[in-house]
Structure 1
Amino acid sequence: MFRWYQRAQVCYVYLSDVSSSVLEGDSPTSLRRKPAIRKSKWFTRGWTLQELIALARVEFFSKEWNSLGDKQSVLLTLHERTGIAVRALEGSPMTIFTIEERMLWAKGRETTREEDAAYSLLDIFDIYMPLIYSKR
Structure 2
Amino acid sequence: MKVRLQHVSIPRPPGSENLTRAFYGEILGLEEIPVPSTIRQFDLIWFALGPETELHVFAEEAFSDQSGRHFCLVVEDLNGLKHKLVEAGIETWEPATIQGRPRFFCRDPFRNIIEFTTIEADYKSFEE
> TM-score, normalized by length of structure 1?
0.31
Q: Considering fraction of residues, name the structure with more strand.
A: 2
Q: Which has the higher contact order (CA 8 A, sep 6+)?
A: 1
